[in-house]
């Protein structure tokens, strides 16, 4: 019996099949990412009116303006960095603590885990609506609870004044995004072999020593990646800030992504918006380089 004759040769060689399968992805990503990205770079060199779409070549003029004393780049960059650092720090503390707690043998552990995941998966719109209701001046749960508990006498304006608005933002950001830290750390905790703890116990390590010498080194790598990813995502966060404070009061919480939007669709200056976006991307490239270095370092 000749099986060779029974089976037709494969229609397409592997050499062609590989590129062929990735081609649709390349085309689509080219259209929705690469092209817009280069268009943004080009736009940043023009002054473009959003309504009429009249474009005028200004070269690096947009960048000169945004980096100059009239521009808001530096202030917004500081706001963005402070927001990123503050909310990320809170996410880490809350996330690691929660992961350690949920890794213990507690009542109804899987239900607790599910509840903790919720904030991360619900829409930012929902999160903001709920928190705005909680922050409500006269009928919000927070003010009522604080007045009831005798902490404050009069309702606090949580979103309309500084530094309250910033603090509120950081807290809501931490609440929304800390489950990411929980899941990442919890997954790693569960993979630490029990024998490591037993060995440490035999070596006379107490609770704290076991955490410092066994747990911490094991979750260290994961934390590195978590910090970089969350730093990038918090840095570029738009929805939460735009919806919760809108950048206010005045410009106090206006981060770079909000300025891009405001320039394009509030002030109708598309070229300027693109220039802000490009500047922001350059800052982010720094983050990205750090991420790659960290990934390489682990391999």
Partner 1 sequence: MSAIDLVGVRKQFGETQVVRGVDLAVPSGAFLSLLGPSGCGKTTLLRMLAGLETPSEGEIRIDGAVVNAVPPGARDIAMVFQSYALYPQMTVAQNIAYPLRKRGVPKGERAGRVAAVAEMLQLGPLLERKPRQLSGGQQQRVALGRALVREPRIFLLDEPLSNLDATLRSHMRAELIELHRRIGRTMVYVTHDQLEAMTMSTHIAVIDGGVVQQFGTPQQVYRRPVNRMVAGFIGTPAMAFVEGRVGEGGALTLAGTRVATVDAAPGATPVIGIRAEDVRLAEIGVPARVGLVEPIGHETLVRLHCDAGIVTARLPGDTAVQPGEQVHFTADAGRLHLFDPIGGERLTDPYQGNERDHG
Partner 2 sequence: MSAGVRKLGWSLLAWALVLLVATPLLWMLSTSFKPENEVFAVPVTLLPEEWTVEYYVLLLTETSFPRYFANSAIVATLTTLVVIALGTLGAYSLVRFRYRGREAIASAVLLSYLLPSVVLIVPLYLMMVKLGLANSLASLVIAYTSFALPYALWLLRSFMAAVPEDLESAAMIDGATRMGAFLDVTLPQALPGIISTALFTFILAWNEYLLALVLVNADEVRPLTTGVMTMLVSGFNIEWSLLMAASVMMSVPLIVILAFLQSYLVRGFGAGAMKG
Binding stretches for partner 1 (CB under 8 A): 1-4, 6-10
Rounded Cα gap, residues 251 and 49, in angstroms:
23
Rounded Cα gap, residues 119 and 125, in angstroms:
11
Q: What is the CA radius of gyration of the chain?
A: 25
Secondary structure letter of residue 46 according to DSSP = E
Phi-psi region of 247 (alpha: psi -120 to 50; beta: other; left: phi over 0): left
Residue range at the interface with partner 2 (CB under 8 A); choices 28-36, 81-89, 204-212, 244-252:
28-36
Q: Closest separation between CB of residue 19 and partner 1, Å?
A: 17
184 binds partner 2 (CB under 8 A): yes
Structure tokens belonging to residue 227: 């910090």
Q: Who's near 136: CB < 8 A, 6+ residues apart?
A: 143
Q: Closest separation between CB of residue 298 and partner 2, Å?
A: 8
Whichever of 13 and 123 has its CB closer to partner 1, that residue is 13
Q: Answer with the entry of partner 2, partner 1, none that 197 interacts with (C-beta below 5 to 8 A by kind).
A: none
Whichever of 69 and 170 has its CB closer to partner 2, that residue is 170
Whichever of 51 and 69 has its CB closer to partner 2, that residue is 51
Interhelix angle 164-190/124-134, rounded to 10 degrees, is 130
First-last CA distance in the chain: 50
The one among 126, 151, 167, 209 contacting partner 2 by CB under 8 A = 126
Q: Answer with the entry of partner 1, partner 2, none that 63 interacts with (C-beta below 5 to 8 A by kind).
A: none
Whichever of 86 and 227 has its CB closer to partner 2, that residue is 227
Q: Closest separation between CB of residue 136 and partner 2, Å?
A: 8
Q: Closest separation between CB of residue 15 and partner 1, Å?
A: 9
Rounded Cα gap, residues 235 and 256, in angstroms:
8
32 binds partner 2 (CB under 8 A): yes
Region 95-114 residues binding partner 2, contact defined as CB under 8 A: 97-98, 101-102, 104-107, 112, 114
Could you count the other beta carbons within 10 Å of the beta carbon of residue 65?
18
Whichever of 10 and 207 has its CB closer to partner 1, that residue is 10
Q: Answer with the entry of partner 1, partner 2, none that 210 interacts with (C-beta below 5 to 8 A by kind).
A: none
Whichever of 6 and 21 has its CB closer to partner 1, that residue is 6
The site that binds partner 2 (CB under 8 A) totals a number of residues, namely 95
Rounded Cα gap, residues 8 and 178, in angstroms:
55
Phi, psi at residue 47, to the nearest 5°? Answer: -100, 120
56 binds partner 2 (CB under 8 A): no
Q: What share of the chain is helix, strand, coil (3-state, %, to 5)?
A: 70, 5, 25
Rounded Cα gap, residues 125 and 292, in angstroms:
32
Region 234-263 residues binding partner 2, contact defined as CB under 8 A: 235-236, 238-239, 242-243, 257, 260-261
């Amino acid at each position: 019996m000749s099986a060779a004759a029974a089976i037709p040769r494969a229609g397409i060689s592997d050499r062609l099949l590989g590129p062929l399968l990735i081609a649709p992805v390349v085309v689509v990503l080219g259209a929705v990412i690469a092209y817009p990205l280069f268009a943004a770079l080009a736009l940043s060199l023009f002054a473009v009116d959003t309504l009429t779409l009249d474009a005028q070549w200004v070269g690096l003029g947009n960048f000169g303006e945004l980096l100059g004393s009239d521009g808001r780049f530096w202030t917004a960059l500081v706001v963005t960095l402070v927001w990123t650092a503050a909310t990320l720090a809170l996410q880490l503390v809350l996330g690691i603590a929660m992961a350690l707690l949920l890794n213990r043998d507690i009542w109804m552990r899987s239900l607790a885990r599910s509840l903790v995941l919720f904030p991360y998966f619900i829409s930012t719109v929902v999160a903001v609506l709920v928190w705005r209701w909680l922050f409500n001046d006269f009928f919000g749960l927070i003010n009522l609870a604080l007045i009831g508990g005798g902490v404050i006498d009069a309702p606090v304006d949580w979103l309309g004044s500084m530094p309250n608005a910033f603090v509120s933002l950081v807290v809501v950001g931490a609440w929304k995004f800390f489950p990411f830290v929980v899941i990442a750390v919890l997954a790693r905790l569960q993979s630490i072999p029990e024998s490591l703890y037993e060995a440490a116990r035999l070596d006379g390590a107490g609770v704290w020593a076991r955490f410092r010498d066994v747990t911490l080194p094991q979750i260290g790598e994961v934390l590195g990646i978590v910090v970089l990813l969350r730093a990038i995502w918090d840095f570029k966060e738009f929805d939460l800030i735009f919806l919760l404070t809108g950048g206010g009061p005045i410009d106090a919480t206006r981060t770079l992504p909000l300025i891009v939007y405001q320039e394009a669709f509030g002030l109708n200056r598309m070229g300027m918006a693109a220039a802000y976006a490009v500047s922001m991307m350059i800052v982010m490239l720094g983050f990205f380089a750090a991420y790659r270095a960290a990934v390489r370092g682990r391999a």
